Each structure stands twice: as structure tokens, then as C-alpha cells.
Structure 1
Amino acid sequence: KSPPGPWGYPILGNVLELRKDTHLALTKLSQKYGDVMEIRIGMRRVLVLSGLETIKQALVKQGEDFMGRPDLHSSQYISNGQSLAFSPDSGEVWKARRKLAQSALKTFSIAPSPTSSSMCLLEEHVSKEAEYLINKFLQLMEEEKSFDLNQYLVVSVANVICAMCFGKRYEHNDQELLSLVNLGNEFGDVAASGHPADFIPLLRYLPNRAMELFKDINRRFNAFVQKIVQEHYTSFDKEHIRDITDSLIGHCQEKTVGEDTNVQLSNEKIINIVNDLFGAGFDTVTTALSWSLMYVALYPNIQKKIQEELDQTIGRERRPRLSDRGTLPYTEAFILEMFRHSSFLPFTIPHSTTKATVLNGYYIPKDTCVFINQWQVNHDE
């Protein structure tokens, strides 16, 4: 049997019910139709999953069945359609590239810092930006009393990602860095507005200013990364791997991306992987930091307890380090609760079924688009 769900209008489907606060609308519908329900967005059938056990069953126990990505029209313009995060391809080539990206990211996250007492390179870069932000915020509070935190957070986050991916830390007024930040902001704004052509195919053939802007943003970002990668090729030394891009070039020159595969890694694939790594951290980390600071400002009693824990455990002679994490339970509990309560990403990136399957007794056809309602799980009773 097919999953239950609300009746929809021809062509539009259930779009009119989902126009505002989509996560709340779908949570309300799930209370009527259950944790596995089917809706229509435009002309595309979408499976909506709610409830911890149902989501765990789909993504963990039946993970192979639900690991795909839907073939959305807009996805072909992200990393030239080769994005690890958005591409509908989930075959062996995709798995090998994903494994390589994870390996490169892990290596340069935990690599020891040769120039400071930091535990690793990532910690060193984060510490430098944290120091800058503290001094900047103190200065702004004295001069202006109030200011927009986000415009400074986003530059620092971009700087950390640039340092990891490109081995380059910029001054905060550097025009190249600011251009990159603007591109990231533009991408987030356009992506957040949605792309009706993903769900109503006819719209792909009509003039669409938002889609043209989306294509242009992706072209400009690809060109920026391509320039950086080309500079790395020129100065590449396999005996001195400086950053994630160097690591990927090294694998490219070895011709394969893994011991058990003959999959080749081209220059274009390197650009696409770096695009993904940058994009994955840029908006989400900035948003998480913004929410965290908003919560501590809104709840000064919690801010006070965090400060007391830091003072008692670490003192004020040095900054916190990654190695302190296990000794700061209240601070970590606050961070995790911030993620749960804010649920600033109410849905995961859409999934897709890789084959026909059965979930909770319902038949789900191959290539079904799947929405995971994270907000509902984080706020269930």
C-alpha cells in the first residue's frame, strides 16, 4: 500500500498549504497522516518522514535504500552537477570521491600545528579568528554600543575555511575574501527562496530571473576556486602538502582516489570537491554561531554559568582548546541544546530512494524524493 497524505490541487499539489513555515505545516500534517506520509509539491511526489524511529529506520537500518539525492533541476548548476552533497549520482565514483573528501578534511582538521601550541591546524585557525572577533566586538561595543554580529562572524568563518582549503588566511578587509563572502551570502539567499522549476518541469523553459542569478553565482564561485586550484598546481610540492587542495592534487597525480578503485580524479573533480567543502561549512557554521550568541544574550543566567565553568576549569590565562571539550559538560550541553531548540536547519538536504523499498509497511517506489523533518524530531513530545 502507498503512504497516506493530503489531497492536492492539479499542477500545484500541496504547495498552497506549505507556503509559510513549511516545517510547522508538515509537522501538523504528520499528526494526522503519520510518520510516513506522501504529499505533492508541484508535480513531484514527495515522501515526508517524521518521528525518530521512522527516520532511524530509513537512514540507518535501510540507509542504502534512502542514500540517493533527487534529480532536481537546480542541482545541475551546483559544482557543474558533480556536487557530493546535491548530485543524484550515488554510484561507486561518488562513493570514492566522498571517501577522499572525508579523508582530506579529517587529515587537515587533526594535523598538528607547526607554528603554535594549538592541538591541531584547525584549532590554530579557529583560535586566531576567535581572538580577532573578541577584540573586534569589544571595540565595537565601545564605539557603537550595538552592531550586527553576523557580518563579522561570516568573514571569520570564511577565513577558517580558506585557511583549511587553500592554506591562506586573509586580512578581514581583503577584497578577495569579501567577494567570496558576498558570493556565499548570495548563494544562501537565492537557495533559500527555493526553485519552483525543481517541482514544476514546465517552468524550466520559461524566463526565470532567480534561476539565472543562481547559475551566475555558481559560475563565479567555480571560477574563483578554479583560479586557486590552478595556482596550487603551479606551486605544488608532493613533499610539502600545505592544505586540502594540495592533498587532492596529490591524489589526482597518483591517478586514483583509493586503493580498491581505478576511478580517476580530474582537475574538474578537485574544483567540485573544494566547492562542496567550502559550501558545507560556510552558511551552517555562521548560522550556528549567530544562534549561539543570540541565546546567551537572551539568557544571561546561562551565559553566566558557561563563564563560571570556563573560569573554574580553564581560568583566564589561556583560551579553551579542543582537548578541553570533555571537561566542559555544561558548555557542550548548551551547544547541543542550541542545535535542538533552534533547529535552524529544519530539514536535511532532500534524499531519494535508490530502489523500490518498503518502510513501515508502505511501498516506496525507486527515485522517490524524501524530506526528513528534523524540526519535528527535535520538538516532539
Structure 2
Amino acid sequence: MEALGITTLFLVVFISCLVFSAVWKSRMKKEKLPPGPTPLPIIGNILQLKTNYLDQAIHKLSQKYGPVFTMYVGTERVVVLNGYDAVKEALIDRADEFSARGKLPLADKINKGKVAAAFEGTTESYLAMGKDGNSSDVLPSLPSATLGWERKALRKGSKMKLSMSWNTYKTQRLYNIFPSLMDFIPGPHHKVASNSNKNAEFVLEEAKEHRATLDPSSPRDYIDCFYIKMDQEEQNDASEFTIENLIFCVLDLFTAGTETTSTTLRYGLLILQKYPEIEAKVQEEIDQVIGGARKPCMADRGKMPYTDAVIHEIQRFISLVPLSVPHAVLKDTVFREYVIPKGTTIYPVLTSVLCDTKEFRNPTKFDPQHFLHEDGSFRKSDYFMPFSAGKRICAGEGLARMELFLFLTTILQNFKLKPLTDPKDIDISPQMSSIGSLPRSYQLCVVPR
């Protein structure tokens, strides 16, 4: 009798799944959604996606369903863009339609659902300096403005707690998939909001000091630039330049900027230990262009194609944020032969662009020649999208590129890397490659040059 009950239960579940699958496929066809794997109730396609190496799991699904397909993360519908052509068409060619922010429940909880337009209003001009060396009307020269507040914040590190540390990303991701459920489950995700509040108090303290010593003719850093813009819009009641948004913007820059840049550098130093011949060529170029008597500056980058290629290849190879940040469509959007409903979350798979064999002859190998012409000059590539692309490209791209060049050249100008194991035994595959790619743990010895 008990066995009969279990059999009946399994039959009910099996039949329910068949009915759900039939209804789902009928709905997909009626709504003209991109094809995709059949989801399960509540959990969606979670079982088809590995906990780690999510980009690889998505690549396999793309081989079956094409470069544009639908999947469900929990109950949330997601349209995936895989490969350069699909990502470029959506994020660049049709940027206006794909420029909305995707859903990130944990971030929304921290920011109380706010998205500050002021962030783009200041960072676009402030951080653009790192791209071409030009400054805007509210900006001083690059050396005096960059990282001023950030350096001070790092010196006071005991007061700052990064809300989104890599160690808790797995739990963070579960929260973004099942936000209602995770509110009732203990874990590090509950500390994120309280840590964010403490960080906000610290930023407010710094902001008050900046206001008291502000010189509009000589802004020292991002906070000063924000205050200048705030004063310019003092009579605008609808202005986004408020103290509340200043705190939001600074925290966003600090949290996103410090960990990503430091992780890229840590990964880069690991890679260079495995390839000492590449390290030696970078140091040779540093000696020729910069020498040892002065510090590197951004003007040097244009004269150092090999070093620039190595930094580009580090970013391409590690694919730090494989899926970018989620986008969303602003309205019902006809994309290729499909219809993507308004508000649908979009996952652009950046790894699929950075590892496209049409552009990079051996994408799984670390090779600076990917960014060099035969004559040794630097080779630009439209496929280089580690910061995403289009209207939602990382606002800190210019700052990050500047930091990576200055930090790496300064280290290699003064030190030679000395691996503690045989270079051929160094594993440069990522420890985790879903939300973020991490280098494997290692120890390093440096020898003064």
C-alpha cells in the first residue's frame, strides 16, 4: 500500500511536468520568444547550469539553441546573447533598446531600489580621462584628481567593508535567484546591508570634510567633482546631484573598482610567473621607454605596444566578469525573428566575445600577439569587451585601464617576479568562472631589479 502511494506520487509529478512542459512550449511559440531549454517549476533551468563555470554551461546551451536563447533563472526569464555578432547587435547597434538595468535583487535591497542618474552624469566625464588623457570643464589634470579619495579610504580600511566580497558571491547569487526564500535563510548575505550602511556613514564623514575644504578651481577627486556639479544645479529642484546620491555613487565606484582591479592585477602577476619570457619583454620595453629614474605615466602607454598588448591579453584571457552585469529591454523588442517582452533580463556573455575564434586564433592560450600586428605595433580589436559595451559599459573603464597600466609597469620597473614553483606547473585556469573569474591561490617572491 505504501509502495502504491509512492508510485502514485511519482506519476502525479511526472504528469504535472509533462503538462507544464506542453503549456510552456505552447506559450513560447505564441509569444515568439527565442528557443531554449524547458524550465522546471520554481527553479527554472538551475539544474542545467553548473554552480561554477556558468559561461561554459551557457556555451553548451548555445550550441543547441543558437546565439540567442531563453532560459529561466528561478522564475525569472532571461534571454542570453552568446557570441560577438549577437552581443554587438544588441548592446551597440541597438543600444537604446537594450540599455535598461537588469534585475539584481541584492543590489536593489542595498540601494533601496534607487538608480542614481547622477552616477553617469559625473563618472562619464570624470573617468573619461583615463581613455585619452583629456579633461573636461569640471576636471583637473589626471595625476592630481585620480584616486585621491580612494587612497584615503584604503588607508582607513578598518572602517570600510566591501559589501560584495568575492568570498560570498555564491551566496549572493542564490539571493539574486531566490530573494524571497533567502530572506529566511541564515548566511553572509544578511550582513551586506548592514555593512553597506557602515560604509555610507564613512563616505558621509569624508564628504563633509571635502565640502569644508572644497576649492572649485582645483578639484582633488571624484567627491569634489560631484560637489561642483551639485552647486551648478543648485536651482534645479529635479537635480540628481544630492548628498544621498553622492554616497551611492562613491560606494558603487569604490566597491566595484577596487576589487576588480586588484583581482586583475593578482591574476596578471600569476600569469607572468608562468611566462617569464613575457615578463622579460615587458621589462625590456619599460627600460627603453621609461628607464629607472622616473615613475611611469599615462603618456608612456602609447610608446609601449608590447606592454599594452600584455595588459589587454590579461583582461581577455581571464574574462573577469564572464556574463557582464544584466541588462534589460526597455520595451517589447523585435530581435532577429523573435520578440523579447519589455523588462526581460538580458545576459550578454562576454567570454563568448573575448574567446571568439574568428578574432583570436587560439583563445584558450595566453598570447599577447592577439593584440599585436606583425610589425610589433599595437592592434585594436572590436572584440575586446571586458568592460561590456554600449550604453551600459562600465563607467570606470578609463580609471581601471589607467590603474592597470601604472600599477603593473611600476611593479615590473622595480621588481622581478620569482615564482616559488616551476613555471610549467603553475595553473592559470580560473578558480571560479561564473559571476567572476578568480586566480588560484598562490605565493609570490619579488626580487629588486
Runs of 5+ unmatched residues, structure 1: 85-93, 113-118, 126-159
Equivalent-residue separation in structure 2 for 1:104 and 1:379 (angstroms)? 31
Superposition deviation, residue 78 in structure 1? 3.5
Q: Distance in 2 between matches of 1:34 and 1:378?
A: 18
Contact 1:83/1:276 (<8 A) preserved: no
**How far has the Cα of 1:101 moved from its partner?**
2.7
**Aligned residue pairs, count:** 320
1:291-302 equivalences under 5 Å are 291-302=267-278
Tell me, in whole angstroms, the C-alpha distance in 1 between the residues paired with 2:92 and 2:130: 28
Q: Is residue 333–residue 341 contact of structure 2 (8 Å, CA) maintained in 1? A: yes
Once the two structures are superposed, the pairs formed by residues 177-196 of structure 1 within 5 Å of their partners are 177-180=157-160, 183-184=161-162, 187-196=165-174
Letter matched to residue 303 of structure 1: E
Query: Residues 283 and 15 (structure 1 numbering): CA distance in 2 closer, same or farther, change over 3 Å?
Result: same
Asked if 1:250 is matched to 2:272, the reply is: no
Q: Is the 8 A contact 1:77 1:218 kept in 2?
A: no
What does residue 16 of structure 1 align with? 47
What is the CA-CA distance between 1:358 and the residue it aligns to?
1.5
| Counterpart for residue 359 of structure 1 | 335
Instruction: Kindly state the Cα deviation for residue 317 of structure 1 after the two structures are TM-superposed.
Output: 2.7
Structure 2 CA distance for aligned equivalents of residues 277 and 108 of structure 1: 15
Question: 2: distance between equivalents of 1:315 and 1:209?
Answer: 51
Structure 2 unaligned residues grouped into runs of 5+: 1-31, 358-449
User: What is the CA RMSD across the aligned residues, in angstroms?
Assistant: 2.9
Closer, same or farther: CA 187–80 of 1 in aligned 2, 3 Å: farther
Contact preservation (8 Å) 2:333, 2:342: yes
TM-score (norm 1): 0.75
The reply to whether residue 32 of structure 1 matches residue 70 of structure 2 is: no
Q: For 2:172, what is the secondary structure of its paired residue?
A: coil
CA displacement 1:283-312 (0-9 Å, x = unmatched): 111111111111111100111111122223
Contact 1:44 1:200 in 2 (8 A): no
Contact 2:172–2:189 under 8 Å retained in 1: no
Q: Report 1:92-103 matches (<5 A).
A: 94=117, 97-103=119-125
Give the corresponding residue for 2:210. 232
Pairing of 1:121-136 with structure 2 (within 5 A): 121-122=142-143
Cα distance in 2 for residues equivalent to 1:322 and 1:69? 32
Q: Note the alpha carbon deviations across 1:184-211, whole angstroms, 9 max, x for none.
A: 2763433453343433354155244333
| Other structure's SS at 1:81 match | coil
Q: How does 1:1-381 map to 2 (within 5 A)?
A: 1-18=32-49, 19-84=51-116, 94=117, 97-106=119-128, 120-122=141-143, 161=147, 163=148, 165=149, 169=152, 174=155, 176-180=156-160, 183-184=161-162, 187-200=165-178, 202-203=180-181, 206-255=184-233, 262-381=238-357
* Higher percent of residues as helix: 1
Higher relative CO (Cα under 8 Å, sequence separation at least 6) belongs to 1
Give the direction of change, closer, same or farther, for the CA distance of 1:202–1:316 in structure 2 (3 Å limit).
Answer: closer
Contact preservation (8 Å) 1:30, 1:37: yes
% identical aligned pairs: 30
After TM superposition, give the deviation of residue 74 of structure 1 in Å: 1.2
User: How far apart, CA to CA, are the structure 2 residues paired with 1:108 and 1:230?
Assistant: 27
Q: Which one is further off, 18-27 or 207-216?
A: 207-216
Q: For residues 4 and 316 of structure 1, do their structure 2 counterparts lie closer, same or farther at Cα, with a shift above 3 Å needed?
A: same
Distance in 1 separating the partners of 2:226 and 2:203: 13
Q: Provide the secondary structure at the position in 1 that maps to 2:72.
A: strand
Shift of 1:380: 2.8
Higher mean alpha-carbon deviation, 212-221 vs 366-375, is at 212-221
